[in-house]
Structure 1
């Protein structure tokens, strides 16, 4: 089953890809690698989620927020490549979490994104990753994700 077919089977519809929030681009290609800029979770009832993990959001809510931010990454990926089927593998995932100093469930929160990548891409969605807790993030969002993916030979962003 292809990544696009898995996405349909999961009942997920990707939003339109949001524009960069500053002077940068959504993705940069280097060889067969595509580096995706950071994405925050989707708006809930028209409002961007704001707050810290360990205060406004617990671990399970963080898991869902990471899944939401991963959906935003997938939307950017589809916009750049035209189809998720052009992804050979997810290479790396990085999460920055806006946390209280005593929050310790970073890995479990980022599993929200990692689990989704495995659901959509199968074995090709298994990746290296890192996650850090930070004192603040732009606009007070609870987390951001960025990723590196490998494209199938001959693939390139649609530009």
Structure 2
């Protein structure tokens, strides 16, 4: 019996530091570890706000990339899926920067509820989900499984300033 208790305690002692260290890693640290840097949050380019908080729900307006890093062009014409994915990643970083500017700390995010992705694409382009995966993957990098959301990925004949992608999101806070 003493061996069983000792083995249980030893197992707990070995596993506990692993789970505590995984939980103590912040979304910002996970983003940095993945090789990305959060940009400065963007400002509205029209008569709207980039975010709106209602209770514990944070709504993000449609985003392009921050700091002039928007990829311009049309998927299926001037851009391929890989370029669209990378554009979508940049938009994800910008959205994360907006969340941080709104609530001060990405650790306050409970879960991502919904992502609505728009892809500037030709009528024959059909890989919209592969493009929007860049954004979704960025949120999973930051929040783990809590970054997975209900999602739409649709094509548009044009987007503001000829952006390759524009994405909005709804986030639940702790």
Q: Larger Rg: 1 or 2?
A: 2
Deviation at 1:47, TM superposition (A): 6.5
Q: How many Å apart are 1:4 and its aligned residue?
A: 2.2
Question: For 1:1-159, what aligned pairs fall within 5 Å after superposition?
Answer: 1-42=25-66, 48-152=70-174
Higher relative contact order (CA 8 A, sep 6+): 1
Deviates more, 1:128-137 or 1:47-56: 47-56
Q: Give the whole-Å Cα distance in 2 for the aligned partners of 1:93 and 1:48.
A: 18
Gaps of 5+ in 2: 1-24
Q: 2:47, 2:66 → 1: CA distance?
A: 21
How many residues align? The count is 150
Distance across 1 between alignment mates of 2:135 and 2:94: 10
Structure 1 vs Structure 2 CA RMSD = 1.4
Q: Which runs of 5+ in 1 are unaligned?
A: 153-159
Determine the C-alpha separation between the residues in 1 that align with 2:93 and 2:69: 17
In the alignment, what sits opposite 2:20? none
Task: Give the alignment's TM-score, normalised by structure 2.
Answer: 0.82
The structure whose residues are more often helix, as a share, is 2
Q: TM-score normalised to the size of structure 1?
A: 0.89
Q: Is the 8 A contact 2:89 2:134 kept in 1?
A: yes
